[in-house]
């Protein structure tokens, strides 16, 4: 499973027990430099939630008792995915989190999937390191637009990746981002742009991946 391969495994994740105090938690957070860590039960199998440095310091600044257990300031108790979850669920869940907790098939803590890992995955999926140009193409968002754009470009070169934006906005132009195969020349790029323009699709940006 791809998610399992991308997950930072439990044995190298900084975790803290639900029995630990807020003082112990802030010491761990300061030592590791993380803004939050997972809180597990005594068996270190069940995920209880996350404890954040910000919330502990706010509690302390307001004269709060630092000997209270971390569960007093527990957050994100329901923010987790499973090793067999879909990427759609992961992207939705991780939106405002530094990482998303990953549980195994038995609902036990497996590890964490970080925000940066997902960004790296997107970069790989867009073939940024190996493509030639990235085109941002504006279209009316009508049925068949994506197929027509792909057909036009494929007459000149291969498409290595594709993503569409603005598809949930009404009365807005849809933008499609496509990465072209290596070796596409400036001349071929101009031919693609002209061909798309004739068919009602505007290349609003063409980024050369190897020349800034």
CATH number at residue 142: 3.30.70.260
State how far the Cα of 108 lies from the Cα of 100, in Å rounded to an integer: 14
Task: Answer yes or no: are the C-beta atoms of 40 and 46 closer than 8 Å.
Answer: yes
Same domain flag for 103 and 167: no
Same domain, 95 and 18: yes
Q: Are residues 100 and 150 in the same domain?
A: no
pLDDT in tens, 115-138: 888 888 777 766 666 789 999 999
**Angle, helices 186-198/145-154, rounded to nearest 10 degrees:** 140
Q: What are phi and psi of 100, to 5 degrees?
A: -120, 135
Shared domain check, 71 and 113: yes
pLDDT for 120: 80
Contacts of 107 (CB under 8 A, 6+ apart): 46, 82
The predicted pLDDT at position 1 comes to: 54
CB 102 within 8 A of CB 124: no
Q: How far apart are CA 158 and CA 150, in angstroms?
A: 9
- 127-186 confidence digits (pLDDT tens): 666 789 999 999 988 889 999 999 999 999 999 988 887 655 555 678 899 999 999 999
In the DSSP assignment, the letter for residue 181 is: P
Q: Give the chain's domain count.
A: 2
Q: Are residues 169 and 201 in the same domain?
A: yes
The predicted pLDDT at position 24 comes to 98
Per the structure, the complete domain to which residue 46 belongs is given by 2-120
């Amino acid at each position: 499973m791809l998610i399992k391969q991308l997950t930072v495994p439990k044995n190298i994740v900084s975790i803290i027990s639900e029995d630990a105090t807020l003082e112990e938690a802030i010491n761990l957070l300061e030592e590791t430099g993380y803004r939050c860590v997972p809180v597990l039960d005594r068996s270190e199998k069940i995920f209880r939630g996350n404890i954040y440095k910000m919330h502990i310091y706010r509690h302390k600044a307001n004269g709060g008792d630092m000997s209270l257990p971390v569960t007093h300031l527990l957050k994100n108790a329901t923010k987790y995915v499973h090793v067999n979850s879909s990427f759609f669920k992961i992207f939705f869940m991780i939106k405002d989190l530094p990482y998303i907790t990953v549980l195994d098939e038995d609902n036990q803590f497996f590890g964490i999937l970080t925000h940066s890992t997902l960004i790296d995955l997107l970069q790989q999926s867009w073939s940024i390191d190996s493509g030639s140009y990235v085109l941002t193409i504006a279209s009316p968002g009508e049925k068949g637009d994506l197929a027509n754009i792909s057909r036009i470009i494929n007459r000149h070169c291969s498409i290595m990746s594709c993503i569409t934006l603005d598809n949930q906005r009404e009365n807005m132009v849809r933008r499609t981002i496509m990465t072209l195969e290596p070796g596409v020349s400036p001349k071929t790029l101009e031919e693609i742009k002209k061909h798309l323009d004739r068919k009602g699709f505007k290349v609003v940006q063409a980024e050369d991946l190897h020349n800034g």
